[in-house]
Amino acid sequence: MSTKDTTEVAENSHHLKIFLPKKLLECLPRCPLLPPERLRWNTNEEIASYLITFEKHEEWLSCAPKTRPQNGSIILYNRKKVKYRKDGYLWKKRKDGKTTREDHMKLKVQGMECLYGCYVHSSIVPTFHRRCYWLLQNPDIVLVHYLNVPALEDCGKGCSPIFCSISSDRREWLKWSREELLGQLKPMFHGIKWSCGNGTEEFSVEQLVQQILDTHPTKPAPRTHACLCSGGLGSGSLTHKCSSTKHRIISPKVEPRALTLTSIPLPHSSILACTRSPLSRIALFICSKRL
């Protein structure tokens, strides 16, 4: 790309220079405002417009990461100042269970590659996504969009499309309590209305969580022996149970039973064998005394 075909866009606050194709700048409208919420995906042209207009609107940039932004939220970050990925949601992990599974792609605007996209989806509700966009020429400014888009093919099923979009992996639900699930699901379903069964009865997030927990029962609490926080360790009682992982679980002390010795009469042949050596005679003498 030659210098004469590019136009320089400067950020007022940091004097950051962005070089964009002149043709692209001419065809993209400048946005008067950044919508805080949108319940549909932005087009590539809209995304590029927000990213080239921010230098005139410092108030668009968020100075701190949002915790579990609600469905439809659109947020603009400076990645050098804000760790925007720490948003409180549980995202799908790779097979190693350590890193988040992300899809990356380059996007075109007016036939020119100028955007980069990074997509992740929730490990609890696969239809809930976080999409991050930035200009290839200015990767520091990131546009983040959260959106829950239930699959259209689920709408024909007997249950609610929202309930059908819930992860069926039982292992995922065993990890979380009711309060944790509510904290995750409530912002995901903001602005979404749905019904269950015949479509006449409204369905709340609380009912959804309860239905999920009923469908995926949690494991019973394991039986434990007395732990260090118990006052009667030596009693052998198992009435106190503690599930705290901070306490060292130990087995109750069992009193040893007394060992009783019983005398066994020696047969006549054994007595004769014992008289063959002096040591044997001494042993025979001791045995006879015990008898």
pLDDT in tens, 50-69: 998 887 888 999 999 999 99
Query: Residue-wise over 253-275: b if at least 16 C-beta within 10 A, else e?
Result: eeeeeeeeeeeeeeeeeeeeebe
3-state secondary structure of 90: coil
Domains of the chain: 29-148 (2.170.150), 171-194+201-215 (no CATH)
Q: CA neighbours within 13 Å on the CB side: how many for 151?
A: 12
How high is the pLDDT of residue 136?
A: 94
Q: How far is CA 26 from CA 6, 43, 49, 50, in A?
A: 11, 17, 11, 14
Confidence of residue 26 (pLDDT cuts 50, 70, 90): confident
First to last CA, the chain: 112
pLDDT at 185 exceeding the cut of 60: yes
Residues 6+ apart with CB under 8 A from 264: none
CA distance 114 to 20: 8
Query: Please, are residues 67 and 96 in contact by the beta-carbon 8 Å criterion?
Result: no
3-state secondary structure of 190: coil
Check: pTM over 0.85? Answer yes or no. no
Alpha-carbon dihedral sign for residues 239, 244, 246, 249:
positive
3-state secondary structure of 280: helix
Residue with tokens 């108030």: 59
More confident residue, 187 or 220: 187
| Mean pLDDT, all residues of the chain | 75
201-235 pLDDT, tens digit each = 566 888 878 877 777 665 555 555 555 565 554 44
